[in-house]
Amino acid sequence: MIFSANIKLALPRQARFLGLRQKGKHSLTVTSDRERVVDKTFLLESSQFQQFLEALQRQGYAVMGPTLTQGDLRYGEVRASADLPVGWRDEEEAGSFRLIKQDDQVSFGCRVGQHSWKQFLFPPDVLLWQARREEGNWRLKVPATAEPPYAFLGVRACDLEALEVHDRVFMRGRYLDPIYQQRREKAFIVAVNCSKSGATCFCASLGTGPRAATGFDLALTEVLEDGRHFFLGEVGTKRGADILAALTHRPATATEVAAAEQLMAGAARNQTRMLATAGLKNFLYDNFENPHWDKVAERCLTCGNCAITCPTCFCHNYRDSLTVTGEVAERRRFWEVCFSVDHSYLHGGAIRPSPRSRYRQWLTHKLATWQDQFGCLGCVGCGRCITWCPVGIDITQEVRSLRAAASLETNKTAGEKEHGDH
């Protein structure tokens, strides 16, 4: 039986990974329970990818995407398709990251490395202002916007969610950050869907992936099978549609769409880690003295790798300096992590002197207090903190251990009540 309906859905985040989409610029037309044709999809042959890059460059974008520099996977300028890590794959485990070369032409075989997109919108070190001593006063100068608009090529669903989280932090609070806002508004987002999850990924359990649902100008799924190599694309915004108009492309067929869908479904299925979020905030609020914090404190080096690689961490600090002649003062802003002792320093001492308290601060902020502050979870399931922790601390495991320790306490107390004092 063939039917069609425009389905308006208010979707919980968990429903996203099932492939359903909120009603937006494009509607979901269901023609049967097996074949779906989605409006605004298009097909780009791999041979046309270079044209795509050039279309972006002609618009004035500096295209930033995954590149391999001296064996290091990082986001750099992508001028040509060959700049992408063609044929490479990443392999992660807790405390381990490897790059493996395959014998194929896949351009987006690497998911995420230790870098995230936050380095472009929320730069690790940026000049805020300079002041010059003039006629008994100080005259302030602010740097003009010098960098060109960015096009982010290859934003995974988790990182897309991280952009939304940073939008809340930097643009929707009581005060906004003009540096973030300026760069964000101009940034063109090309999402890339994952076809295989890494061992440390857990976006599916958070409903933040593996499919990129919203927040992109264009989204691509790379398909390499049966001798064909193409990108199944999806238009997200008019800005995306405008770029597409300059390219040779055609609508996607149902088979092509299905091929992409299958890859994404596979990516969701092969995830092994998960974070249960039900009641998580209140659980953590009630467990600030959970005995497990001591256990993780024994391992945590407070190196801050997790916070530096995390795409949603936003702590920063400011540094004022003066030239030798004392004529020019400047203020710079730089990333800082809550793992340092002086992060909580208040004349006389730090509020959080112990590693235990600092790890607890990071985790409870990310998973609990963040929700009260910003109305969303601070974690997007990208797995970077697990991969890049030198001792392999796994945030999903820590939450499980906290819950286990808590129920052990509850059972103990209940047991004592049953059997009386002894």
Partner 1 sequence: MAPEPEKLTSRPSDANGLLLPQPFRVKSRRRETADTFTMALAPASPRVEEWPFEPGQFNMLTVYGIGEVPISISGDPTEPWRLIHTIRAVGAATRALCRLAPGDILGVRGPFGTTWPVIEAEGRDLVIVAGGLGLAPVRPAIYYALAHRAAYGSVELIYGARSPQDILYYHELERWRGRFDVRVHITVDAAPPEWRGRMGVVTKVVAQARFDPSQTTAIVCGPGLMMRFTVKELLDRGVSSDSIFVSLERNMQCGMGLCGHCQLGPLFICKDGAVFPYSRVKNWFEKREV
Partner 2 sequence: METIEAVLADHPFFKGMTPQHLAAVAACGRRVQFMAGEFLCREAEEALDFFVILRGSVVVEIFSHRRGPLTTGTIEEGEVLGCIWFDKPFHWHMDAKARQLSRVVALDVRALSAKCEEDHDLGYDFMKRYAQHLVVQFRVAKLQLVDMYGT
Q: Copy the structure tokens of residue 231.
A: 């990108």
258 touches, from partner 2, partner 1, none (C-beta below 5 to 8 Å by class): none
Nearer to partner 2, 349 or 420 (CB): 349
How many residues are listed for the chain in this entry?
422
Closest to 202 (Cα-Cα) out of 140, 276, 132: 276
Nearer to partner 1, 60 or 390 (CB): 60
Q: Which region, judged by CB under 8 A, interacts with partner 2, from 131-139, 192-200, 232-240, 341-349?
A: 341-349
Q: Interhelix angle for 157-171 vs 178-186, to 10°?
A: 140
Q: Shortest distance, CB of residue 178 to partner 1, whole angstroms?
A: 3
Q: Which amino acid is at 250?
A: R
Q: Shortest distance, CB of residue 347 to partner 2, whole angstroms?
A: 5
The number of beta carbons lying within 10 Å of the beta carbon of residue 28 is 20
Place of tokens 């006629």: 135
349 touches, from partner 2, partner 1, none (C-beta below 5 to 8 Å by class): partner 2
Indicate the DSSP class of residue 6.
B
Indicate the DSSP class of residue 338.
T
Which residue among 136, 227, 326, 348 contacts partner 2 (CB under 8 A)? 348
168 touches, from partner 1, partner 2, none (C-beta below 5 to 8 Å by class): none
Q: Shortest distance, CB of residue 177 to partner 1, whole angstroms?
A: 6
Q: Which region, judged by CB under 8 A, interacts with partner 2, from 30-38, 125-133, 307-315, 347-355?
A: 347-355
Q: Shortest distance, CB of residue 346 to partner 2, whole angstroms?
A: 9
174 touches, from partner 1, partner 2, none (C-beta below 5 to 8 Å by class): partner 1
Could you give the CA distance from residue 263 to residue 314 in angstroms, rounded to a whole number?
Answer: 33
Nearer to partner 2, 2 or 346 (CB): 346
Q: Shortest distance, CB of residue 48 to partner 1, whole angstroms?
A: 22
5 touches, from partner 2, partner 1, none (C-beta below 5 to 8 Å by class): none
Nearer to partner 1, 200 or 305 (CB): 305
Indicate the DSSP class of residue 250.
B
138 touches, from partner 1, partner 2, none (C-beta below 5 to 8 Å by class): partner 1
Nearer to partner 2, 127 or 351 (CB): 351
Q: Shortest distance, CB of residue 209 to partner 1, whole angstroms?
A: 25
Nearer to partner 1, 129 or 391 (CB): 129
Q: What is the DSSP string of 163-218?
A: HHHHHHHHHSSSS--HHHHHHHHH-EEEEE--SS--TT--HHHHT--SS--SS-SE
Residues that bind partner 1 (CB under 8 A): 57, 62, 77, 127-131, 133, 136-144, 146-148, 169-170, 173-178, 181-182, 288, 314-318, 320-323, 326, 329-331, 336, 338, 343-347, 351-354, 356-357, 360-361, 365, 368-370, 372-373
Could you give the CA distance from residue 78 to residue 161 in angstroms, rounded to a whole number?
Answer: 23
Secondary structure of 39-103 in HEC code, one letter for each residue: CCEEEEEHHHHHHHHHHHHHCCCEEEEEEEECCEEEEEECCCHHHCCCCEEEEEECCEEEEEECC
Helices (H), 246-320: 254-269, 280-285, 292-299, 305-309
**Is residue 136 near partner 2 by the rule CB under 8 A?**
no
147 touches, from partner 2, partner 1, none (C-beta below 5 to 8 Å by class): partner 1
Contact 88, 99 (CB under 8 A): yes
**Is residue 342 near partner 2 by the rule CB under 8 A?**
no
**Is residue 227 near partner 2 by the rule CB under 8 A?**
no
170 touches, from partner 1, partner 2, none (C-beta below 5 to 8 Å by class): partner 1
Q: Residues 6 or more apart from 351 whose CB is under 8 A from it?
A: 344, 345
51 touches, from partner 1, partner 2, none (C-beta below 5 to 8 Å by class): none
Which residue among 347, 417, 419, 422 contacts partner 2 (CB under 8 A)? 347
Q: Shortest distance, CB of residue 245 to partner 1, whole angstroms?
A: 23
Q: Copy the structure tokens of residue 263.
A: 């890859």
* Exposure letters 205-225 (e unless 16+ CB within 10 A, then b): bbbbbbbbbbbbbbbbbbbbe
Nearer to partner 2, 238 or 347 (CB): 347
* R_g of the chain computed on alpha carbons: 24
Q: List contacts with partner 2 (CB under 8 A).
A: 347-349
